[in-house]
């Protein structure tokens, strides 16, 4: 079992949950069976992250580009989202999770959007883990939408265009509320970001695994966190000798087992 430290967890963990289709294909099942099994991994991951004490968990559930998939697959995914939102409501409320959606949710069918908005408003005041569900989400789209809003404000004389900088543009992005991404996990073996949190991943650490999303369990989550905890995040700076020896000490110290 992989050991992790509980004092240096990623504050913001983001996951590109990929590989459902291939998981199903390998078993001779329809792709939609992979999505169903994938929703079990979502449940597990949310539960483990909450118990560990991760502050923000952002899950890529459906991209803007995923609308291009066959209608029956999109429909099956929407039905699963609906089922997930209904089934998880009680546990989300009981455990104090704050649910937030990211993306152009107006594109979602009303039977998904209504449940999502209800859960968002019911949990807005809760102080537990922040769970961001990226649905109909694209990183470029999010930045473009924010730029348009700032342009409108400038046009109306509410802001000075000269005042727009990375801070004010960042603050306009809904995904920034969860803070910058510390660790991004992508399952399914692809080495790409597929238009996920482009802004927030500026200094994220990446963990890629060939494991297909329905097979992603607690042990592999711990492996990802353990790998993250061994990284040296420099943010463009030079590491001092003092920090080097601190790091060596950290690497040598035995990790605390996580009891979840
Ligand atoms: C990820 O699994 C789920 C969504 C994109 C909604 P995929 O459906 O992309 O699975 P693969 O990549 O085809 O295996
Ligand atoms: C990314 O997976 C989107 C989600 C996990 C929701 P995709 O399967 O859509 O990504 P590509 O097409 O392989 O880049
Ligand atoms: Mg995929």
190 CA: nearest ligand 2 atom: 13
Q: Does the Cβ of 32 fall within 6 Å of ligand 1? A: no
Q: Tell me, what's the pLDDT at 179?
A: 97
62 CA: nearest ligand 2 atom: 6
The string of pLDDT tens digits covering residues 166-211 is 999 999 999 999 999 999 999 999 999 999 999 999 999 999 999 9
Residue 245 — pLDDT band, cuts 50, 70, 90?
A: confident
Q: Tell me, what's the pLDDT at 217?
A: 98
Residue 215 bears catalytic tag: no
Residue to mutate (ligand 2; options 18, 108, 137, 140; most atoms within 8 A of CB): 18
Q: Does the Cβ of 150 fall within 6 Å of ligand 1? A: no
Q: Cα of 18 to ligand 3 centre, how many Å?
A: 5
Judge whether residue 260 has pLDDT over 80: no
Q: Cα of 190 to ligand 2 centre, how many Å?
A: 9
Q: Tell me, what's the pLDDT at 256?
A: 47
Judge whether residue 20 has pLDDT over 90: yes
The overall average pLDDT reported for the chain is 95
**SS3 string of the chain?**
CCCCCCCCCCCEEEEECCCHHHHHHHCCCCHHHHHHHHHHHHHHHHHHHHHHCCCEEEEEEEEHHHHHCCHHHHHHHHHHHHHHHHHHHHHHHHCCCEEEEECCHHHCCHHHHHHHHHHHHHHCCCCCCEEEEEEEECHHHHHHHHHHHHHHHHHCCCCCHHHCCHHHHHHCCHHHHHCCCCEEEECCCCCCCCCCCCCCCCCCEEEECCCCHHHCCHHHHHHHHHHHHCCCCCCCCCCCHHHHHHHHHHHHCCCCCCCC
Q: Tell me, what's the pLDDT at 133?
A: 98
The string of pLDDT tens digits covering residues 88-122 is 999 999 999 999 999 999 999 999 999 999 999 99
The string of pLDDT tens digits covering residues 127-154 is 999 999 999 999 999 999 999 999 999 9
Q: Does the Cβ of 4 fall within 6 Å of ligand 1? A: no
16 CA: nearest ligand 2 atom: 5
* Nearest Cα residue to atom 1 of ligand 1: 18
pTM given for the model: 0.94
């Amino acid at each position: 079992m992989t050991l992790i430290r509980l004092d240096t967890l990623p504050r913001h963990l983001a996951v590109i949950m990929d590989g459902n289709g291939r998981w199903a294909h390998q078993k001779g099942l329809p792709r939609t069976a992979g999505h169903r099994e994938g929703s079990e991994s979502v449940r597990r991951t949310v539960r483990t992250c909450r118990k560990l004490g991760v502050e923000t968990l952002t899950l890529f559930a459906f991209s803007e580009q995923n609308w291009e998939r066959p209608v029956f697959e999109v429909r099956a995914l929407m039905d699963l989202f609906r089922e997930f939102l209904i089934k998880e409501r009680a546990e989300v409320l009981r455990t104090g999770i704050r649910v937030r959606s990211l993306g152009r949710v107006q594109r979602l069918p009303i039977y998904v959007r209504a449940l999502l908005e209800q859960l968002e408003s019911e949990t807005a005041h809760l102080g537990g883990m922040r769970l961001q569900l990226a649905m109909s989400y694209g990183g470029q789209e999010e930045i473009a939408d924010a730029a348009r809003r700032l342009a409108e404000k400038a046009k109306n004389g509410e802001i000075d265009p000269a005042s727009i900088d990375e801070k004010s543009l960042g603050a306009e992005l809904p995904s920034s509320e969860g803070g910058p991404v510390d660790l991004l996990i992508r399952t399914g073996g692809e080495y790409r970001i597929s238009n996920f949190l482009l802004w927030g991943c500026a200094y994220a650490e990446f963990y890629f695994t060939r494991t297909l999303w329905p097979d992603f369990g607690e042990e592999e989550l711990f492996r990802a966190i353990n790998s993250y905890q061994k990284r040296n995040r420099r943010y463009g700076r030079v590491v001092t000798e003092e920090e080097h020896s601190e790091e060596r000490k950290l690497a040598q110290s035995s990790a605390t087992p996580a009891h979840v």
